[in-house]
Amino acid sequence: MASGYDFGWIPVLLSLFTLTDASSQTVNQELSNIFNELWKLDVNRMEPLTNYNISLQGKAGYIPQGSTNVVDHASSPLFVNVDEAKLSSITTYARFMKLLDNYERSTGVAERVTAEEVTENNSFLDAILETAVMKRAHQYLIGKGKSRSDLRQFKSQLYYMWFRLYHRERNGGEDSSGFEHVFVGETKFGREIMGLHNWVQFYLQEKQNLLDYKGYKARANDVPDADDHVLNVQFSWHGLVKPVASAFVGVSPEFEMAVFTILFLTSTEKTTTAVVNLDEYQLEMVVHRHGRCIGTAYPKLLSSNNRHM
């Protein structure tokens, strides 16, 4: 559960650290439309207060990037409980969770991908490609001329952009991938958290006492609710602190893969941002590319509970 406020590029950071006034944003209606279609098709989305419960507690304070001096405004974990039996019973979640222990946490340390891990990657893609969410995303990308209609070619395209290894640090071997960064998380020089944008990984790391939720981030007039599906939060992980992070909560892995794949493939910009109205939320969707691979991808919450309307 995190956002990509973790790259060293100053222009990107300057644009991302501010919780922007939603009323000043120009909404991308086409992306809003397709993302809402995918939202409605996401039958594997977990329901708050039914499949999981969160405890928001206090509002987190400001700390600069790289600092570990943080006041904890949440004495308890964010996740009170999650229905793990339900998660494990859904193929996409079950295969997704198998991928979370396949990576080295530190950048600069070369990844070694085993044949078993390649099989797990392919099995996960096979599972999400069978969902209505990914089928609709594929159809949309075909219509845009961004993907081939052949399912094997589309799967290869997904594998390359999400799982192909690349250098995030100049020293050492290939140490990162889009999937690792976005869904698993990394640390840079032992000083900052990068990625970890996924709620399931957040919950599992919290459960193992490796991650400590510090409180939510929000403007005074937009305090989050326990049933919100997108949150801005602050947390520590392996002793490092993420000052502000944003992520979907409860959504399926196929939904996140679908929306970020669409945003990535429909643009050629190094960093692509698009403001969308999704369900009751206004979000700034962000994707940063690393060549033909995902560098980072996350939703930045601008407003919730239809307060932007």
Tokens coding 30: 């086409």
Identify the weakest region by mean pLDDT among 19-23, 190-194, 289-293: 19-23
pLDDT of amino acid 193: 78
pLDDT of amino acid 176: 66
> Cβ(73)–Cβ(59) under 8 Å?
yes
Whether residue 215 is predicted with pLDDT greater than 80 in this model: the reply is yes
Strand arrangement, sheet containing 230-237: 211-216, 230-237, 240-248
What is the pairing mode between strands 271-278 and 281-290? Answer: antiparallel
Domain ranges of the chain: 29-56+75-304
Identify the weakest region by mean pLDDT among 238-247, 268-277, 279-288: 238-247
Query: Which residues are known to be catalytic?
Result: 181, 197, 242
Identify the weakest region by mean pLDDT among 32-41, 90-99, 269-278, 299-308: 299-308
pLDDT of amino acid 22: 47
Whether residue 67 is predicted with pLDDT greater than 50 in this model: the reply is yes
| DSSP state, residue 48 | B
Percent of the chain with pLDDT over 90: 62
pLDDT of amino acid 1: 53
Average pLDDT value for residue range 1-10: 42
Q: pTM (2 decimals)?
A: 0.88
As a whole number of angstroms, the distance between CA 284 and CA 291 comes to 22
The amino acid sitting at 244 is V
| Type and span of the H or E element at 277 | strand 271-278
As a whole number of angstroms, the distance between CA 2 and CA 243 comes to 10
> Cβ(201)–Cβ(184) under 8 Å?
yes
As a whole number of angstroms, the distance between CA 243 and CA 253 comes to 24
Tokens coding 85: 């039996």
Q: What does each C-alpha distance from 144 to 137, 141, 160, 298 come to in angstroms?
A: 11, 5, 19, 22
As a whole number of angstroms, the distance between CA 11 and CA 300 comes to 17
pLDDT of amino acid 12: 38
pLDDT of amino acid 194: 77
> Cβ(141)–Cβ(209) under 8 Å?
no
Placement of tokens 């399931």 in the chain: 200
- The band of 4, judged by pLDDT with boundaries at 50, 70 and 90, is very low
Across 17-21, 109-113, 127-131, 197-201, the highest mean pLDDT is recorded for 127-131
Burial of 155 (0-12, 13-18, 19+ CB in 10 A): middle
Average pLDDT value for residue range 50-54: 97
* Average pLDDT, rounded, for the chain: 86
User: 243-271, pLDDT tens digit by residue?
Assistant: 988 899 999 999 999 999 999 999 999 99
As a whole number of angstroms, the distance between CA 162 and CA 292 comes to 9
Identify the weakest region by mean pLDDT among 8-22, 90-104, 216-230: 8-22
Percent of the chain with pLDDT over 70: 82
pLDDT of amino acid 63: 85
